[in-house]
Chains A and B, each alone.
Chain A
Amino acid sequence: MGLDTVSSATAHPESTQPFAELGLKPDEYQSIREILGRRPTSSELAMYSVMWSEHCSYKSSKVHLRQFGEKKPVEGWPQLLVGIGENAGVVDIGDGWAVTFKVESHNHPSYVEPYQGAATGIGGIVRDILSMGARPIAVMDPLRFGPADAPDTRRVLPGVISGIGGYGNCLGLPNIGGEVVFDATYLGNPLVNALCIGALRHDEIHLASAKGIGNLVVLYGARTGGDGIGGVSVLASETFSEGGPTKRPSVQVGDPFMEKLLIECTLEVLHAGLVEGIQDLGGAGISCATSELASNGEGGMHVWLDRVLLRDPTLSPEEILMSESQERMCAIVTPADLDAFMAICTKWEVEAVVIGEVNNSGRLTVEWHGEQIVDVPPRSVAHDGPVYSRPMQRPAYLDALQADVPDRLSRPATVEEVRSTLLTLIASPNLASKSWITDQYDRYVLGNTVLAQPEDSGMVRVDEVTGRGVAVSTDCNGRFAKLDPYNGAKLALAEAYRNVGVTGAVPLAVTNCLNFGSPEDPEVMWQFAEAARGLADGCLELNIPVTGGNVSFYNQTGTTAILPTPVVGVLGVIEDVAKRTSIAWSEGDVIFQLGETRDEFAGSEWAHVMHGHLGGLPPKVDLAAEIALASVCADGLGWFHAAHDISDGGLLVALAEMAMRSGVGAQLEPTGDLFVWSFSESTARAVVSVAADDAQRLTALCASQGVALQRLGVVAGDRLDLGGPIVTIAELRDAHEATIPALFG
């Protein structure tokens, strides 16, 4: 078939079009025809199909995500400089500094091609941060895999880790944390989420809008190739590539060196004041960048598509519009600044070309060698896609699942049994040391990393003079979310908030990556809606806004969906990173538990590892207690010697981690039921150690904030002494450090 132009679309209105193969529903196709008053050209169809995909349009989640903007304090969020809807939200951290952070999923590509899938996941999120005008300063990766000993996990995990390291290390961004969690439900659908943090001055914020009639649209970075076509929707089939290469991979191929050049080049043109608007090219490529820029700006844009620099000269216009080739950016530049812009691109050996011009026509028009192939209202492509209120149904299994409480499971009765349970737990894949993984990531580059794995949060210095910095943690216990998605999402939020708080940083903002099964399954859709509602309510209670995020649906193999996994990232600010509290305690410290322990084992690591059990209701959520705990830890800056949140595995696991981190043991004084004391996963708790002289001060501080305090013992020796049986640090390390290398090394 020849070139399908606007005039041929008008002249031949009844040509049949492959909308279904492109992932569009019949009624969606009909809407496009109504918007245009004719059938779309094949190029227009290509654009709508990718932009109206679930990934780009959030058509199934939009009605639920609105609450993140709507549930807010009457006075709004003072710390929010840019809210949801831009490439990433921007948060005021004081002294004229701002940070932007966001997490995104790259789940399916990483399953198909683990190395490139994970690598380009990093690349994409870094460009999102860059397009806000920020210098990327750190990355983190929340990961979920199938059982650690499953053959396919051995295929996927090493590739994903190499891809994250290969791309991130070469880019020069420290990897400061994340998560690695194993569960059977992720076997056919691992989760590879990537988070990036960027820093900028308040006056450096840039937005994706094409302002200024007559301004030029410059595409720069890597050339456009045939990779990732339809990556956000479906693979383009033979219809688009008669005579050309067919069946191209839907996974993009990353070039971290080009991305590094793109970062430096972009920051230089931004700082030189040469950019009126900027947008990264990720999912949906040029279709997304041009329609969003035009829609957010003067409302019109004309594009000369044949000017796009190509890696493969046989690409058709439809393919160029849909290509998701990596390492590309789009900038709006005034004609007067163009030469200066191009000179900086040349300095960094980055190719650039003017592909379009901003106008006030209200239309996005695209021509190909003089023929008009696209003429659409840009807003209809970028923002006014379909919106669905999908059917929801509380899962039929939920009552039985919640009734199956863990009380019947046999519990360790003696101190010796508690000791052996501890050793089993810290050697289990979810709690075992992840050094084999994190040692493949550069955590030192840029020279501002203050805390990284295995600390509770990653922390980086933003201002080298004042020491102002940020802490970030991502968390989610998918088992809790399965038992109760509403409270499970709140628990993920609470844990991330606590992990930031224990370092002494003040939590400020939230990002999220909501990983779920198919939205077309009403039970999955119910899980999603409940989790979104829980997260929005929780953020309001904690008084911190969601600044952006990502939804990833269709994470399922056959009819088995993954555990609902609403990964939550919390960012906090700390005035002087030199004062932060780590998890390493010091000889002679007095150890306390802050917060209250209840008999709570549903969804716990103990039930999972020792009994393979999942049932009951997750631990109680108490966000007021979380706020009080974080407030105490912020007041402890400078005199708390160590603080560590108590979560997966409970108190004894937290104590073991602190002993291994510092190389000093503890003389412990367990109270109450030893098993509950050791392994319960009650929330709003932390271990804190202080100098003996400061014990009274801590007691008074906790009393003033209404935080329960319990003395646990003193830091001493080379072992954890439970008042009878002991476990040496050497034994702990042997158990903790052997598991992952034995499986993957």
Chain B
Amino acid sequence: MTSRIGVVTYPGSLDDRDAARAIRAAGGDPIALWHGDADLPDVAAVILPGGFSYGDYLRCGAIARFAPIMEQIVARANDGMPVLGICNGFQILCESHLLPGALTRNDHLHFICRDQTVRIETTNTAWTADFSAGQEIVIPLKNGEGGYIADDATLNMLEAEGRVVATYVGTNPNGSRRAIAGITNARGNVVGLMPHPEHAIDALTGPTTDGLPFFTSVLTSLLASR
């Protein structure tokens, strides 16, 4: 049971197969979850994948947060179940109030897809334990609305509490406040990340294999918490 990690498919999810592939590459068992199901099956962690849920025609993630399956995911997350939201998944986590702040349109107003250097700022989360603090990695970034925004008090709090998970190195690709690429909740089990580690698990199809430790980390932390 500790290796069963759910991946939610919403209408418009795109990187759900990639997330499942990454879980498999890390040694876990991906379990497909359907947005419309009210019951969460027996999973130890959940990934909300990238994509354009409901077309993102309203605010990104604003409709997906009301999907039937979200009620149990939010409840379990509040009980400590590891949840990783990637890109659209990050947006859904913010809309669900599992994470503070919001994601806004890139400051240059274009969708951007590129290999991005990010620095891992904390290893004290369920999803980053296998990194070393300050480690710089290269993983794909691809978003149109990836600018992280929150008020200064929240940003100060995130930094003071060590809840900034990753920051952009070099040019800030989307205008994120304080170059934030990912954050976590107070407990460290819920992580939202704008770049895509699931696209960097195999040098054949990604720029690096730097994304893999996100997925091994959760398996490690699940084993440790048994």
Contacts and interface: CB of A to CB of B under 8 A. Distances in A.
A346 to B, nearest CB: 10
A578 B11 contact: no
Most chain B CB atoms below 10 A, which of A166, A172, A261, A446: A172
Given A166-B111, A172-B14, A444 B144 contact: no
Contacts of B113: 438-444
B178 interface: no
Contact of A447 (B36, B110, B142, B199): B199
Interface string B156-192: 0000000000000000000000000000000000000
A351 to B, nearest CB: 13
B196 A444 contact: yes
A169 B111 contact: yes
A444 B55 contact: no
Interface in B1-38: 11-12, 14-15, 17-18, 21, 36
B213 interface: no
Contacts of B196: 444
Nearest to B52: A170
B55 A440 contact: no
Nearest to A257: B55
B121 interface: no
B101 interface: no
Interface in A429-467: 438-450, 461, 464
A166 B54 CA distance: 14
A442 B57 contact: no
B204 interface: yes
Interface in B201-218: 204-206
A444 B111 contact: no
B45 to A, nearest CB: 20
Most chain B CB atoms below 10 A, which of A171, A260, A577: A260
Given A255-B55, A447-B18, A578-B204, A260 B12 contact: yes
Contacts of B50: 445
A59 to B, nearest CB: 38
A162 interface: yes
A180 to B, nearest CB: 16
Contacts of A261: 11-12
A635 interface: no
A257 B56 CA distance: 8
A445 B12 CA distance: 13
B95 interface: no
B59 interface: no
A170 B88 CA distance: 11
Contacts, number: 83
Contact of B11 (A169, A257, A443, A446): A257
Given A444-B140, A444-B199, A162 B17 contact: no
Contacts of A166: 111
A443 B144 CA distance: 14
Contacts of B199: 444, 447
A169 B205 contact: no
B198 interface: yes
A446 B142 contact: no
B204 A577 contact: yes
Interface residues of A, number: 33
A256 interface: yes
A146 B198 CA distance: 39
A170 B144 CA distance: 10
A261 B54 CA distance: 10
A675 interface: no
A446 B18 CA distance: 6
B161 to A, nearest CB: 32
B21 A447 contact: yes
Nearest to A165: B111
Nearest to B22: A447
A349 interface: yes
Contacts of B54: 257
A348 B13 CA distance: 12
Nearest to A170: B52
Nearest to A260: B12
A347 B37 CA distance: 11
A256 B51 contact: no
B112 A439 contact: yes
Contact of B17 (A255, A442, A446, A449): A446
Nearest to A452: B113
A449 B51 CA distance: 17
Contacts of B11: 257, 260-261, 348-349
Contacts of B97: none
A440 B112 contact: yes
Most chain B CB atoms below 10 A, which of A162, A166, A257: A257
Contacts of A442: 111, 113, 142
6 contacts: A162-B111, A169-B52, A258-B55, A440-B112, A447-B199, A577-B204
Interface of A: 162, 165-166, 169-172, 255-258, 260-261, 347-349, 438-450, 461, 464, 577-578
**Nearest 8 interchain pairs by C-beta:** A257-B55, A172-B14, A447-B18, A444-B199, A170-B52, A444-B140, A440-B111, A165-B111
Given A256-B52, A257-B55, A347-B36, 13 more contacts: A169-B111, A170-B52, A172-B14, A172-B51, A257-B54, A348-B11, A438-B113, A439-B112, A445-B14, A445-B142, A446-B18, A448-B205, A577-B204
